[in-house]
């Protein structure tokens, strides 16, 4: 059986990746320090003989006994309010954490895939964003801690590839959603759905004319899986090109949830990108991949998940 280490395993994407690799017949080792993740995302795997969990902060030296075939480095705060709250940890997990994992991959002769992001394009001046766009990032703005950590992560990964001949893969993930997102992580989908469930108005930031393109988690995981098994070392965008303004999206959520509440407008956060849509030509050509889940379908599954949470979770505030 091939063995894969997944960091950030107790988080949203990491836990779905654990499920996928187990269902493909891998032995999975999950690693997390729970800084933004939750034990309950892995509870269903606790008694699975092919799953093992290690509680560890990946910015500290990582010691693993035995062989490893693949590493997927997904540990990192991913929501703007998380990385604004823990900026130093965000910089460290993208830099020191990635360095540790690249070192581990080299020692184990394992292939490593790192989770990069559409945020490397910053507030993009090119639309849609293709992999050859270098981006427009404010290095010293509040979001810079995440964006620059991820840009450094890409650079050090390519350096290990070029200098040490390490087998590396880089996925640039665009806004992805689905069950197991943290209801109070501040990202727009859990924020709107939580507000609808609590009977609060939906908070649109700015005038709501900024756009995002939302990808359902199963599609994202399929793209990541294919990229890992491909032989392509350069960054690949994985996301859904179906773009919508945040204002229209709030109206969609109002219809979906049946809430009687309305939209209210709040200040736009600093450096909030005005537009974002992936150009997925490369993923289509290279991996034969494209998203399959319509937003209406994915949102319904996600809303059903949030509806199933306890009252305590619905009213819990981290921020």
| Contact call for residue 172 and ligand UDP (CB under 6 A) | no
| Contact call for residue 176 and ligand NAD (CB under 6 A) | yes
CA angle 15, 20, 21 (to 5 degrees): 100
- Of residues 98, 117, 184, 259, which one binds ligand NAD by CB under 6 A? 117
β-strand pairing of 211-213 with 243-245: antiparallel
Q: What is the spatial distance between Cα 307 and Cα 182, in angstroms, rounded to a whole number?
A: 13
Query: What residues contact residue 164 under an 8 Å CB cut-off, 6+ apart?
Result: 106
Active site residue 146: yes
- DSSP 3-state percent helix, strand, coil across the chain (nearest 5): 40, 20, 40
Give 93 or 254: the residue with its C-beta nearer to ligand NAD. Answer: 93
Per-residue DSSP letter, 216: E
Give 72 or 253: the residue with its C-beta nearer to ligand UDP. Answer: 253
CA dihedral 58, 17, 117, 281 (to 10 degrees): 150
- Of residues 77, 128, 194, 273, which one binds ligand NAD by CB under 6 A? 77
The one catalytic residue among 26, 83, 121, 146: 146
Structure tokens at 284: 């289509």
- Of residues 100, 129, 157, 175, which one binds ligand NAD by CB under 6 A? 175
| Burial degree of 113 (CB within 10 A; 0-12, 13-18, 19+) | buried
Q: From ligand NAD, ligand UDP, none, which one binds at residue 76 (CB under 5 to 8 Å depending on kind)?
A: ligand NAD
Site string for ligand UDP, 223-262 (x = CB under 6 A): -----------------------x----------------
Question: Which residues, numbered 39-98, are part of the site for ligand UDP (CB under 6 A)?
Answer: 79-80
Q: What is the spatial distance between Cα 293 and Cα 240, in angstroms, rounded to a whole number?
A: 9
Stretch that binds ligand NAD, among 129-137, 171-179, 196-204, 297-305 (CB under 6 A): 171-179
Residue (of 206, 217, 221) closest to 273 by Cα position: 206
Stretch that binds ligand NAD, among 57-65, 122-130, 137-145, 160-168 (CB under 6 A): 57-65
Q: From ligand UDP, ligand NAD, none, which one binds at residue 204 (CB under 5 to 8 Å depending on kind)?
A: ligand UDP
Catalytic residue ranges? 146
- Which residues bind to ligand UDP, rule: CB under 6 A? 79-80, 175, 187-188, 191, 203-205, 210, 212, 246, 269, 272
């Amino acid at each position: 059986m091939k063995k894969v280490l997944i960091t950030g395993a107790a988080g949203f994407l990491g836990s779905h990746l654990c499920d996928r690799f187990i269902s493909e017949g891998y032995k999975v080792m999950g690693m997390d320090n729970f800084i933004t993740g939750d034990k309950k995302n892995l509870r269903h795997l606790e008694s699975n003989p092919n799953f093992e969990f290690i509680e560890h902060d990946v910015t500290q030296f990582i010691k693993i006994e035995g062989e490893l075939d693949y590493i997927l480095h997904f540990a990192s705060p991913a929501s703007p309010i998380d990385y604004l709250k823990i900026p130093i940890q965000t910089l460290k997990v993208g830099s020191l954490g990635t360095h540790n994992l690249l070192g581990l991959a080299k020692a184990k002769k394992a292939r490593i895939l790192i989770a990069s992001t559409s945020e490397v394009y910053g507030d993009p001046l090119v639309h849609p964003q293709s992999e050859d766009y270098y981006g427009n990032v404010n290095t010293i703005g509040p979001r810079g801690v995440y964006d620059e950590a991820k840009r450094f992560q890409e650079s050090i990964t390519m350096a290990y590839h070029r200098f040490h001949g390490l087998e590396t893969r880089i996925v640039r993930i665009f806004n992805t959603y689905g069950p197991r997102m943290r209801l109070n992580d501040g990202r727009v989908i859990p924020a709107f759905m939580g507000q609808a469930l609590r009977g609060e108005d939906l908070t649109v930031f700015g005038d709501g004319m900024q756009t995002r393109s939302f990808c359902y988690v199963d599609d994202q995981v399929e793209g990541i899986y294919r990229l890992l098994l491909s032989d392509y070392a350069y960054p690949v965008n994985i996301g859904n090109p179906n773009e919508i303004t945040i204002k229209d999206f709030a109206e969609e959520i109002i219809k979906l949830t049946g809430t009687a509440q309305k939209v209210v407008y709040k200040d736009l956060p600093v450096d909030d990108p005005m537009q974002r849509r992936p150009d997925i030509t490369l993923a289509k050509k290279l991996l034969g991949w494209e998203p399959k889940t319509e937003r209406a379908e994915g949102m319904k599954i996600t809303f059903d998940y949030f509806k199933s949470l306890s009252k305590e979770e619905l009213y819990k505030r981290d921020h």
